[in-house]
Amino acid sequence: MSLQKIKQNELFINQVEFNPKVSLFIYNGKSYLNNQSEVSGAFTNNIGNVPVGSINLYEENVDRNVISTGLIYPFISKNSSLASFKTISTTSFNSDFSYGDIITGSYPLSASITRDYYSSGESRDKVTALQNTLNYYNKLSQFYLYSSSFGDKSTIPLNLISIPSIFYGNNIEKGTIKLDFYISGTLIGTLEDKKRNGELIQTSPSGSNGSGSVAGVILYTEGFIILTGSWELETGVTRNYLNDITNQVTSSWLTFGTGLGNESFTDGMIPSSSFSMQFKGSNKVPIMTMFLHAKRGELNNSTNPTFISYGSNIVPLTSSNSYYESNTLQPSNVVSSSYDTEPYLEKTTFISSIKLYDENKNVIGIAKLAKPVRKTQDRDLTFKLKLDL
């Protein structure tokens, strides 16, 4: 083992951007993320233990036998550090728990894309909370304005779709959003941000009602889609989008995504309608790159007992003021030869792992090589390590 300090010019920190593609298909009150349906496991009918279309945070309790082993869960003991979960208020922490009590949480934690429909004049706290944000983006398009000649978002019928950040990362990539509306498998409307300014413009079918019109806006950083387009996408046909058989309405962008997420939905409520949503995320990950060197003439001794040839006496030599190994011990000769004669001895080691230490010589990371690398005395090696921060 040899300790080496990483020099300033051997360590780099940069940022890599990933653009994961997200596809969501909604039909009959269920959503399917990236075309993934329920997957049966050895112990559960759905190995993710979360509804289809949702993301399992930390991927905990996957295909776990609930009956025999139970679900794993986070826990913490109340002590003088006063550490607790964010969901436990200070008042509850002080009054409801005694020192030594175990405070528990639950897994799995999941997130899903949800929809909120607001009829004309209906109270809408979620939309009101976005008022300043919407007005801030009016420099990109007048359609963002909370109240303008295009309508007052506090009173007009409105369709709000909320996308948790776990689906996209830092922000949704501009120009990648696409919403498709189907009736009996036939496309009756598509929304896209062709201008990359957040305006959701109906682009197909060509020449259809509302073609070229702005049906809403998208907040790329915050993860919200606000749809206000109320024109008919199919003429003369009403459907039970409101889960009220006595109050059926025509298909429009106000009804896009019916049954998504948190909505009350009756099986078979709108058997002909289905919806598709596609976009790309933008997730920036800082990465530390380190270059570690095994220089010529170094790292050619090993503390592994097999480094010494078989039969050598490895008993240390001691005296009143010293403790050392004999310098006549012969290392194992691992040099191969094409002939029957034994080749010349060459001190050889095999590097199988690299440990990272902090300034106090505490191990903070171990990088293991998939295949040990042969190191001879006349060989220079450089290892490139990458660490996601």
Task: State the total domains in the chain.
Answer: 2
116 and 233, same domain (yes or no): yes
Percent of the chain clearing pLDDT 70 (strictly above): 94
The lowest-confidence range among 61-75, 176-190, 354-368 is 61-75
Cβ neighbours around 299 below 10 Å, total: 18
Domain-terminating residue out of 285, 316, 344:
285
Flag whether 36 is in a domain. Answer: no
233 and 262, same domain (yes or no): yes
266 and 374, same domain (yes or no): no
Flag whether 33 is in a domain. Answer: no
190 and 337, same domain (yes or no): no
What pLDDT was estimated at residue 345?
73
pLDDT at 12 over 80: yes
Flag whether 346 is in a domain. Answer: yes
**What type of residue is 301?**
N
145 and 245, same domain (yes or no): yes
Is the CA virtual torsion 249, 255, 261, 262 positive or negative?
Answer: negative
Flag whether 10 is in a domain. Answer: no
Flag whether 1 is in a domain. Answer: no
163 and 238, same domain (yes or no): yes
Flag whether 75 is in a domain. Answer: no
pLDDT band at 230 (very low <50, low <70, confident <90, very high): very high
269 and 129, same domain (yes or no): yes
Q: What is the mean pLDDT of the chain?
A: 89
Residues 146-162, mean pLDDT to the nearest whole number: 96
pLDDT at 146 over 90: yes
pLDDT at 262 over 70: no
pLDDT at 265 over 90: no
pLDDT at 311 over 70: no
Percent of the chain clearing pLDDT 90 (strictly above): 57
Domain-terminating residue out of 285, 312, 329:
285
Express each pLDDT in 96-115 by its tens digit. 999 999 999 888 889 999 99
Segments forming the whole domain that contains residue 339: 295-388
Domain-terminating residue out of 264, 285, 306:
285
Torsion of CA 369, 374, 379, 383, to 10 degrees: 0
The lowest-confidence range among 55-59, 306-310, 364-368 is 306-310
Flag whether 35 is in a domain. Answer: no
272 and 329, same domain (yes or no): no
Most confidently predicted of 14-23, 36-45, 298-307, 337-346:
14-23
Ramachandran angles phi, psi of 286, nearest 5°: -75, 135
Give the CA distances from residue 305 to residues 1, 2, 325, in Å, rounded to whole numbers and listed in that order. 14, 17, 13
239 and 336, same domain (yes or no): no
Most confidently predicted of 63-72, 105-114, 224-233, 366-375:
224-233
